[in-house]
Amino acid sequence: MANAANVISNDPFSLVEAAIWAALESSGGVRALVKVANRRRLIDTNPEPVRDSVTTEDLPELMVWPAGGAFNQPGSGVSSSSFSCVAQWMIGVTTDEVRTNRDRSIHAVTWACFCALMKMRNNGPYDLSFVTNVDVDSLTVQPGEAVPGRDRQVNGWKGLLSVRVRMVYAFAEVMA
């Protein structure tokens, strides 16, 4: 798995987040549009993964963060000998380009992320045998706005892609 060395914990949630990052960073589109320094990895060893202020050089910016989930939902792979979790992550895109159809624009970066996540869905999330499904289930886009308490006025756009990952574990594995 790409960048697994940067993951401090081997819990399933951290491993899935690392797999999402690996999928995004394996995309030529994401690599071309978002500088490495602007890929804000919260699972990394960087002590300050979020910038308090941004400039044009800091954008577009890409972040991935956990957004909750549900355990043992009907139809999610739970059985008498297993349990499941459908966990959600958000992929955040911030741009400085007001026009939506340019390089570095919200459409270009969002499309590159979507394509990378669909490849992850179709090819499987690397070596994570407990993952049974990956879905991109929503997209929200809005004009940039100030973030309270931070100098992050963005004149471009902010977008969120929601990714849901189904994980299934045998009871014996969890109880070990």
CATH 3.30.2000.10 given to domain 4-175: yes
pLDDT in tens, 4-61: 556 678 899 999 999 999 999 999 999 999 998 888 888 877 666 676 666 667 789 9
Compute the average pLDDT of residues 153-171: 86
- Specify the pTM: 0.84
DSSP string, the chain: -TTGGG----SHHHHHHHHHHHHHHT-HHHHHHS-GGGEEETTSS-S--S-SB--GGG-SEEEEEEEEEEES-TTSS-BTTEEEEEEEEEEEEE-S-SSTTSTTSHHHHHHHHHHHHHHHHHH-STT-TTEEEEEEEEEEEEE--PPTTSB---SSEEEEEEEEEEEEEEHHHHH-
What residues does each domain of the chain span?
4-175
Task: Give residue-wise pLDDT tens across range 30-42.
Answer: 999 999 888 888 8
In angstroms, rounded to a whole number, what is the distance separating the alpha carbons of residues 163 and 22?
Answer: 14
